[in-house]
Chains A and B, each alone.
Chain A
Amino acid sequence: MNTPSSPSAPAPEHRLPPGFALHASGADGSQEYFLNMGPQHPSTHGVLKLVVRLDGETVVEVVPHLGFIHRAIEKMGESETYVQYLHLTDRMDYLSSHINNLGVCMAIEKAMGIGVPERGEYIRVMVSELQRIQSHLLWWGAFGMDLGAVTAFLYGFKEREKITALFEDLCGARLTMNYFRPGGSNADVPENFIPRVLEIVEEMKFTLDEFNALLSANPITISRTQGVGALSRERAISYGCSGPVARASGVNFDVRRHAPYSIYDRFEFDVPLGQNGDCYDRYRVRMEEMRQSVRILEQAAASFPEGPHRAKEKPVYKLPAGSYFSSVETARGMFGTYIVSDGGLKPYRIKSRSPNLSNLAPIAEMAAGGKIADLVAILSTLDIIVPDIDR
Chain B
Amino acid sequence: MNLAPIPHNDHLFVRRLKQVGELLRGMRVTWGYLVRPSRVVTREYPENRETLTFPERFRGQVVMPHDAEGEHNCTACTLCEKACPNGSISILTTKNIADKRVLGRFVYRLSSCTLCNLCIEACPFDAIHMGHQVDNVEAASYERAALDLILNKREGR
Contacts of A226 in B (CB 8 A): 6
Tell me if A210 is interfacial: C-beta within 8 Å of chain B.
yes
CB atoms of A213 and B25 under 8 A apart? yes
Interface positions of B from 1 to 59, Cβ below 8 Å from A:
1-3, 5-6, 19, 22-23, 25-26, 28-30, 41, 54-55, 57-59
Tell me if B118 is interfacial: C-beta within 8 Å of chain A.
yes
CB atoms of A170 and B1 under 8 A apart? no
CB atoms of B5 and A275 under 8 A apart? yes
CB atoms of B118 and A84 under 8 A apart? yes
CB atoms of A210 and B29 under 8 A apart? yes
CB atoms of B3 and A213 under 8 A apart? no
CB atoms of A173 and B115 under 8 A apart? yes
Chain A min CB distance to B114 (Å): 6
Interface positions of A from 144 to 197, Cβ below 8 Å from B:
151, 158, 161, 168-173, 176, 178, 186-187, 190
CB atoms of A274 and B57 under 8 A apart? no
Contacts of A171 in B (CB 8 A): 57, 59
Tell me if A272 is interfacial: C-beta within 8 Å of chain B.
yes
**Total of A-B residue pairs, C-beta within 8 Å:** 80
Partner of B115, one of A169, A176, A270, A285: A176
- Binary flags per residue of B96-137, CB closer than 8 Å to A gives 1, else 0: 000000000000000000111110010000000010100000
Contacts of A284 in B (CB 8 A): 3
Q: How far is the CA of A21 from the CA of B105 in the complex (A)?
A: 60
Contacts of A29 in B (CB 8 A): none
- Binary flags per residue of A227-243, CB closer than 8 Å to B gives 1, else 0: 00000000000000000
Chain B min CB distance to A278 (Å): 10
CB atoms of B2 and A273 under 8 A apart? yes
Contacts of B3 in A (CB 8 A): 272-275, 281, 284-285, 288
Contacts of B19 in A (CB 8 A): 219
Contacts of B29 in A (CB 8 A): 210, 213-214
How many B residues are at the interface, by size bracket?
A: 20 to 34
Contacts of B115 in A (CB 8 A): 173, 176
CB atoms of B23 and A218 under 8 A apart? yes
Contacts of B22 in A (CB 8 A): 217-219
Quick one: given A173-B59, A271-B1, A273-B3, are A186 and B121 in contact (CB under 8 Å)? yes
Chain B min CB distance to A282 (Å): 11
CB atoms of A168 and B1 under 8 A apart? no
Contacts of B59 in A (CB 8 A): 171-173
Tell me if A215 is interfacial: C-beta within 8 Å of chain B.
yes
Tell me if A83 is interfacial: C-beta within 8 Å of chain B.
yes
Contacts of B130 in A (CB 8 A): 172
CB atoms of B41 and A158 under 8 A apart? yes
CB atoms of A275 and B2 under 8 A apart? yes
Q: How far is the CA of A181 from the CA of B139 in the complex (A)?
A: 28
Binding site for A on B (CB under 8 A): 1-3, 5-6, 19, 22-23, 25-26, 28-30, 41, 54-55, 57-59, 83, 85, 114-118, 121, 130, 132
With contacts A214-B29, A274-B3 known, what are 13 further pairs, Cβ within 8 A?
A86-B116, A87-B114, A151-B30, A171-B59, A172-B59, A172-B132, A176-B116, A178-B116, A178-B118, A186-B121, A213-B29, A219-B22, A226-B6
A-B contact pairs, 27 of them (CB 8 A): A83-B118, A88-B85, A168-B55, A170-B57, A172-B55, A172-B57, A172-B59, A172-B130, A173-B59, A176-B114, A176-B115, A178-B116, A178-B117, A178-B118, A213-B25, A213-B28, A214-B29, A217-B22, A218-B22, A218-B23, A272-B3, A273-B3, A274-B2, A275-B5, A284-B3, A285-B3, A288-B3
